[in-house]
Amino acid sequence: MQNSPVSKLILEGREFFVKRDDLIDPFLAGNKYRKLYALLKTPQQNYNKIISYGGTQSNAMLAIAAMCKQKGWEFLYYTKPLSKTLKELQEGNYFHALSLGMLHYELEEKHYKNFIVSLRLNLDEKTYIIDQGGADKSVREGMEVLAREIREANLDFDALATPSGTGTSALYLALALPEYRVYTTASVGDAEYLKEQMSALNEIPKNLIILEAEKKYHFAKPYADFLEVYKKLLNAGVEFDLLYAPLLWKCLLEQTQEKILYVHSGGVSGNASMLKRYKQKGMD
Ligand SMILES: *Cc1c(COP(=O)(O)O)cnc(C)c1O
């Protein structure tokens, strides 16, 4: 695997660098590639089955499906019940993950939590469980490889930025590059919740900064100002995802001044279905 490239982006007269992890692979890209790096490097014969659970539009699900296909591992994915519309959709992460061989199981809402807990109780040594969103200490290894690539590129910048869901990526990026500030934003829940999630993995380092917007945004909802930022970025030459990137870019433009390297977290494969929802709301 070669180092992912770096693009320059001019936005509101400011110059940004973008580490193009979105270009690594159509499905196994962005921070999900970095997060699964250690597993990808694991000898094929160590496992025959990967189990995970979570949302049915999740980028992690799609990346794990692509990894399992590559490795010849079976992939079992558990979710709460799914709508008929999503099941029949011929595009998007769920559709692609199934076509990569994912075995999907729906659990009744009332049994979901207990079932997920019970997965670990009767586990054989050839099965590996990846928690929702890939929050795992093994992510450190992939982020250290990313840090090495960033140092090798020898770029002139003052701070890094990458958006957070569980915060696993931003946390390990900040730990791997202690000489830079790392900006992030909480896309799922608020900053307090994000800190809690991160603290469960490691002490939060001083160089990690969580920016907060004035307005409260709910995860995966369409917002006119998010679409506006998305389009501005697209016009400047790079497509970003619609769930995580717009909030961080908004905060970077409003609250920072220095030269920033933005680590593209991927997720562009989910844009088709999200853009449809924007359209249904009369925003496009
Ligand atoms: C998963 C994901 C994130 C969040 O990553 P965490 O490590 O959970 O914080 C950010 N951006 C995109 C596009 C993602 O798919």
pLDDT in tens, 91-119: 889 999 999 999 999 999 999 999 999 99
What is the distance between the alpha carbons of residues 244 and 267, in angstroms, rounded to a whole number? 9
- By the 8 A CB rule, do 251 and 183 touch? yes
Q: Which two tokens stand for residue 163?
A: 């958006």
Q: What is the per-residue pLDDT for 133?
A: 80
Q: What is the per-residue pLDDT for 1?
A: 72
What is the distance between the alpha carbons of residues 135 and 130, in angstroms, rounded to a whole number? 8
Q: Could you tell me the distance, in angstroms and rounded to a whole number, from the CA of residue 167 to the centre of ligand 1? A: 8
Could you check whether 6-27+140-280 and 34-134 share the same CATH topology? yes
Q: What is the per-residue pLDDT for 256?
A: 98
pTM (two decimals):
0.95
Read off φ and ψ for residue 264, nearest 5 degrees.
-60, 125
What is the distance between the alpha carbons of residues 95 and 93, in angstroms, rounded to a whole number? 6
**Strands 260-263 vs 181-184: parallel, antiparallel or unpaired:** unpaired
pLDDT reading at 135 higher than 80: no
CATH class, domain 34-134, is alpha beta
What is the distance between the alpha carbons of residues 135 and 146, in angstroms, rounded to a whole number? 17
Q: Could you tell me the distance, in angstroms and rounded to a whole number, from the CA of residue 164 to the centre of ligand 1? A: 6
Q: Which two tokens stand for residue 262?
A: 């933005």
- By the 8 A CB rule, do 159 and 185 touch? no
Residue 204: band (very low, low, confident or very high) from pLDDT cuts 50, 70, 90 = very high
Q: What is the mean pLDDT of the chain?
A: 95
Q: Could you tell me the distance, in angstroms and rounded to a whole number, from the CA of residue 121 to the centre of ligand 1? A: 28
What is the distance between the alpha carbons of residues 109 and 101, in angstroms, rounded to a whole number? 24
Q: Could you tell me the distance, in angstroms and rounded to a whole number, from the CA of residue 163 to the centre of ligand 1? A: 7
> Does any ligand 1 atom lie closer than 6 A to the CB of residue 163?
yes
Q: Does domain 6-27+140-280 have CATH number 3.40.50.1100?
A: yes
Q: Which residue reads 């995802």 in tokens?
A: 241
Domain boundaries, the chain: 6-27+140-280, 34-134
Q: Could you tell me the distance, in angstroms and rounded to a whole number, from the CA of residue 269 to the centre of ligand 1? A: 13
- By the 8 A CB rule, do 270 and 93 touch? yes
What is the distance between the alpha carbons of residues 153 and 20, in angstroms, rounded to a whole number? 12
Residue 137: band (very low, low, confident or very high) from pLDDT cuts 50, 70, 90 = confident
Q: Could you tell me the distance, in angstroms and rounded to a whole number, from the CA of residue 58 to the centre of ligand 1? A: 9
> Does any ligand 1 atom lie closer than 6 A to the CB of residue 54?
no
> Does any ligand 1 atom lie closer than 6 A to the CB of residue 269?
no
Could you give the 3-state DSSP secondary structure of residue 23? helix
For residue 109, count other CB atoms closer than 10 A to its CB. 9
Mutation test of ligand 1: which of 18, 19, 25, 31 has the most ligand atoms closer than 8 Å to its C-beta?
31
* Over residues 259-280, mean pLDDT: 94
- Angle CA 141–126–170, to nearest 5: 25
What is the distance between the alpha carbons of residues 27 and 31, in angstroms, rounded to a whole number? 11
Closest residue to atom 4 of ligand 1, CA basis: 165
